[in-house]
Structure 1
Amino acid sequence: MEFRHLGASGMKVSEITYGNWITHGGQVEDDAATACVRAALDAGITTFDTADAYANGAAEEVLGRALKGVRRASLEVFTKVYFPTGPKGHNDTGLSRKHVLESIDGSLARLGTDYVDLYQAHRYDAFTPLEETMQAFADVVRAGKALYIGVSEWTAEQLRAGQALAADLGFRLVSNQPQYSALWRVIEGEVVPASQELGIGQVVFSPIAQGVLTGKYKPGRQPPAGSRATDEKGGGAQFVQRWLRDDLLARVQELGPIAAELDLTPAQLAVAWVLQNPNVASAIIGASRPEQVAENVKAAGVVIPLPLMERIDEVLGDAIERDPARTAANAPAQRLA
């Protein structure tokens, strides 16, 4: 495993982060989830990402149990706040002072830890004054409940405004967690340049585009049984559906020979691709089986030569989404409750 600094902070994280969105508390049973976490630890992963909204708190509980007994100082545990939780009442969402300060205590209890290494704003809250949110985060840090603060899917403008307020309050934003893959590059035009300027690193999710970049989804065929595209129970199907176009899937099949040139699987190539961006601190992988963790971890430390990076661009062509406006579109347009 290789390690990188998280933004301009002094903390290092593993190049591969294990994330339990969708899977823990939802798609897979607790025993399988625990086996995946143990496989991540065995593979050298020290960074684990979750959120209070995942399975309405159950994902945090599963992760906490799976990490029990591991030396806490050897881990980097991340969680998030924003989306509706608990009974989902009128104050059980957003980034108000009330919700942030109550949510961190709930997350710590579920995770079974006294602090998290990184506490993240899961989205930008346009309905709470940014000053209120940043003051709440400052108080979380001062109370020792989080060591660092990050955000997720914020625009370049939002990052600049948040960082300016954070600096006035005596802390810094160190990370952003956006979607990023060879197919989804919307952060490259504005978010990454702003982040480099501000000392913010990316911890990216969906580097395999919900499994599409593994090549297992074939044009003109039904999704394989047991794949995320068939997961109606855990919600995976709704997220992968947008990628299941025959023209796009045909292009993805052409990435197989490129991966083979590097002695990688298509999934490993996809994870290694996002790690070529120097502003990326870590790529989040998920898994429903331990062997998936062991395989994807092999992307750490891989250097993809420039000619092959250019060939990937040529193969994917106009299937690549680059519009920076898609980041703002990911933020909820109205308060969720």
Structure 2
Amino acid sequence: MPASPFPRPLGPGGPLVPPLALGSWNTWDRMSEDEAVAMIHAAVAGDAGFFDVAYYNMGPHAENSKTDILFGQALRASGVARDEIVLCGKLWLWDWPAQGFRAQLEESLERAGLDRFDAVVVGDYRDAPDLDRLVADVGELIADGLFDVWGINNWVVGDTHAAFAAAERAGVAAPTFAQLKYSIVRRSMAEGEPYGELFRAGRLALQASDVFEGGILAGNLVPQRKIGADVGGIRERIVAAAPEVARVAAELDATPAQLALAFCLAYPPTANVLFGASRPAQLEGNLAAMRLAAEHGDAVRAAVAGLWLDREVAADGTW
């Protein structure tokens, strides 16, 4: 049996993190507290004890605004110790700097009943932010012990380079990981040359997100809930490709969801894969993806090599 490639660090100087990470978008609000407690226990036991505790009090996702409160309640009820898990918060740019990062972070921590995160992701944007001010604000929060490392979420790669330069000028921490859309069918941003160069150079690790394409690649061809943006306008082609994903998964004695996760885990820059689960059984079924990736990662990626659907989309985040 091949040696496990996990855990991997969350970028240069970052902590070793569980290979699977649970998101909070449309999850904790779709289960009872008992189910949420069971989910947390299953995640910790199954090497998926990385929780994205997003702050959804603003912007286009505000209807999901209670997620951090619900997660915090379930975590306290679970009895799981803080040092058994990794927590990642989110800072949004929709109303920044009018609503500063510190105010966002402190409110999110208070709502969840926490005193700090381990990592934070700075969200995407409509217009390029003032990066000198941004890295200074983030650096101040790190200096105050509110989190240790930070990453970016679907940024144009030129702005990521500018953040590195701004951090060096200011003598503060640069981003160590990139949370990017990445799946069997949508690969250009994570595998394209601009971000690929940063991954190969060891400047960033990848946190893969949107790996199920809103559930389509996991078998739900007509999602009944709001799902992520269709970057590049390829969703109809993704729906058409889903049966082939299911066929390949069956040949590997896996579920489509396990195949989708294993595909991302088998990409060497991947530190972990962020996905949503609203029932403990979903999570427990998906845990087998780690073994599939460790034992058959090359075969998984070869089997779906022809399903890369966004090759024509720019890889630098400009789409």
Does the CA-based 8 Å contact 2:184-2:264 persist in structure 1? yes
Q: 1:51 aligns with which of 46, 54, 69?
A: 54
CA distance in structure 2 between the aligned counterparts of 1:288 and 1:213, rounded to whole angstroms: 16
Alignment of 1:252-331 (within 5 A): 252-301=242-291, 302-303=293-294, 304=296, 306=298, 308-314=300-306, 316=307, 319-321=309-311, 323-324=313-314, 327-329=317-319
1:204 maps to 208
CA distance in structure 1 between the aligned counterparts of 2:150 and 2:267, rounded to whole angstroms: 22
2:90 maps to 80
Return the offset for 1:323: 1.5
User: Which deviates more from structure 2 when the two are superposed, residues 186-195 or residues 107-116?
Assistant: 186-195
Return the offset for 1:212: 1.3
Deviations 1:247-303 (A, max 9, x none): 543432123342233321111011000111111100012111110000111111424
How has the CA–CA distance of structure 1 residues 83 and 62 changed in structure 2, closer, same or farther, with 3 Å as cutoff? farther
Deviations 1:300-332 (A, max 9, x none): 142435455233122x26x34552257235xxx
2:185 maps to 183
User: Which deviates more from structure 2 when the two are superposed, residues 196-205 or residues 154-163?
Assistant: 196-205
How has the CA–CA distance of structure 1 residues 131 and 269 changed in structure 2, closer, same or farther, with 3 Å as cutoff? same
How has the CA–CA distance of structure 1 residues 3 and 181 changed in structure 2, closer, same or farther, with 3 Å as cutoff? same
* AA matched with 2:66: A
Deviations 1:132-175 (A, max 9, x none): 11111010001111111111111221111112222332323111
* AA matched with 2:144: A
Q: Secondary structure of the equivalent of 1:328?
A: coil
User: Which deviates more from structure 2 when the two are superposed, residues 136-145 or residues 181-190?
Assistant: 181-190
How has the CA–CA distance of structure 1 residues 103 and 260 changed in structure 2, closer, same or farther, with 3 Å as cutoff? same
Return the offset for 1:120: 1.5
Return the offset for 1:111: 2.1
Q: Secondary structure of the equivalent of 1:282?
A: strand
Does the CA-based 8 Å contact 2:206-2:269 persist in structure 1? yes
Deviations 1:215-259 (A, max 9, x none): 343xxxxx4xxxxx123xxx349879x7663x5434321233422
* AA matched with 1:114: D
Q: 2:239 aligns with which of 230, 233, 249?
A: 249
How has the CA–CA distance of structure 1 residues 51 and 321 changed in structure 2, closer, same or farther, with 3 Å as cutoff? farther
Q: Secondary structure of the equivalent of 2:177?
A: strand
Instruction: Tell me the TM-score normalized by structure 1.
Output: 0.80
Deviations 1:64-116 (A, max 9, x none): 122223211221100111155xxxxxxxx23x285112111111111212110
How many pairs were matched up? 302
Return the offset for 1:210: 1.4
Does the CA-based 8 Å contact 2:184-2:263 persist in structure 1? yes
Deviations 1:170-200 (A, max 9, x none): 3231111111101111211122322433621
Stretches of structure 2 lacking an aligned partner (at least 5 in a row) = none
Q: Secondary structure of the equivalent of 1:283?
A: strand
How has the CA–CA distance of structure 1 residues 163 and 293 changed in structure 2, closer, same or farther, with 3 Å as cutoff? same
Does the CA-based 8 Å contact 1:57-1:110 persist in structure 2? no
Does the CA-based 8 Å contact 1:268-1:296 persist in structure 2? yes
Is it true that 1:65 corresponds to 2:73 in the alignment? yes
Stretches of structure 1 lacking an aligned partner (at least 5 in a row) = 85-92, 218-222, 224-228, 330-337
Return the offset for 1:62: 1.4
